[in-house]
Amino acid sequence: MEYSNTLPLTRLAATLAAAAGVEPPRLAEEKIDGLAETLKEKAGPDGIDRVVIYNPDAIARWLFQKYAGEFAPVLRHAQTAVEFQTVFPPVTPVCFASMYTGTKPAVHGIRKYEKPVVTTDSLFDALIRAGKKTAIVSVRGCSMSKIFLEKDMDYFIMDCDEAVCEKAVELIEKDTYDFLSVYTQDYDSLMHLTGTESEIALNAMRSQIDIFRKIAEAVDASYKKHNTLLGFCTDHGVHNNENGAGKHGEDIPEDRNITHFFGVKARSKFVTFRA
C-alpha cells in the first residue's frame, strides 16, 4: 500500500515539545526539525508560552481536499499545513495515544479500540515536569477523557461538543493554562451513522471547524500578552463501507492520510501593562 503522506504521526509529540520549549516525552520519536524551528521563529525571541491544540475527530485529508472552502476559518488562523500518516489501526484511542506519546502502538500498548490509561510517558507528563499548567477539555466517555487520566493536571469532561467549546473559550479567557488540549467528536459520531458526506455529517464537520474559529478568536482576544501556538490536529481519516455508513480502522489512504494545521499568534505590541 502506497501513501501520499509518509510523515509519521509519532513525530508530532516531540515537535510540539520543542516548539513549547520543554523536553520531549521520554520515548518519543524524533521531532520534525523544520516545523519546530518554523513555529518558534514565528513567535520571535521570547518563544512560545501558550499552546492550544484542538483535536477534532476523524477529519480526513480527503475531506480537506474536497471541501477546501469549508476550511477557510482554519487556514485564517493556522496557515502551516503538515501532512501526516497516522498509525495503524487508525482508531481514536490508538491514534491519540501515539499523537501525545510520540510512540507506536507496540510501545504505548493500545493496539485496538480500547481505552486504558496510558502509562507510557506523554507530552502531558513532559509539560508537567517543566512546571506548565496543563488541561484536557473533552467529551465524556471519549478516548481523550480516559487514556491520559491520573496525571497532575486538570480535566474538564463535558457532555457534548458545544459544552467543550464553551469551556475551552472560558479557560482561554481566564488565561491560567500554559497548554490546553481540546477534543470534540460530532463529525465522527454522525458519519458512522449517516455516511462520511451526508448533510448531517458535513454540518458536524462545519461545526467542528467553527469551534476552532471560536477558540482561535478567544486566543486573539485573551492571549494578547502571549505567543500562542494554535493547532488543528485530527487523529485519523474515514471512508464509507459497502452499505454507505462511515467507518475507519483499515490500512488504506482514506483512513491513514491526515492533515494538521498550525499557526502562531504573536504577542501584541500594543498590550498595556498596569502595576
Whole-number percent of the chain with pLDDT over 90: 93
C-alpha cell at 36: 519546530
The mean per-residue pLDDT over the stretch 165-176 comes to 98
Q: Tell me if residue 261 falls in helix, strand or coil.
A: strand
Degrees, nearest 5: CA angle 129-133-139 = 110
Q: Which pLDDT score, from 0 to 100, does residue 227 have?
A: 97
- Does the pLDDT of residue 12 top 90, yes or no? yes
C-alpha cell at 101: 506519546
Stated pTM of the model: 0.96
Q: Which pLDDT score, from 0 to 100, does residue 185 have?
A: 98
The mean per-residue pLDDT over the stretch 202-223 comes to 98
The mean per-residue pLDDT over the stretch 85-108 comes to 98
- Does the pLDDT of residue 136 top 80, yes or no? yes
Residue with cell 501515539: 98
Q: Which pLDDT score, from 0 to 100, does residue 275 have?
A: 40
Q: List strands edge to edge, sheet with 179-184.
A: 7-8, 80-85, 257-265, 228-232, 50-56, 179-184, 134-139, 154-158
Measured between alpha carbons, how far is 99 from 28 in angstroms, rounded to an integer? Answer: 10
Measured between alpha carbons, how far is 83 from 81 in angstroms, rounded to an integer? Answer: 7
Q: What are phi and psi of 240, to 5 degrees?
A: -95, 145
Measured between alpha carbons, how far is 208 from 57 in angstroms, rounded to an integer? Answer: 9
**Which DSSP letter does residue 182 get?**
E
- Does the pLDDT of residue 154 top 50, yes or no? yes
- Does the pLDDT of residue 259 top 60, yes or no? yes
- Does the pLDDT of residue 3 top 90, yes or no? no
Among 60, 63, 48, CA closest to 265: 48
CA dihedral sign, ordered 217, 222, 225, 227: negative
What confidence tens digit (pLDDT) does each residue in 114-125 have?
Answer: 999 999 999 999
Cβ contact 262:212 at 8 Å: no
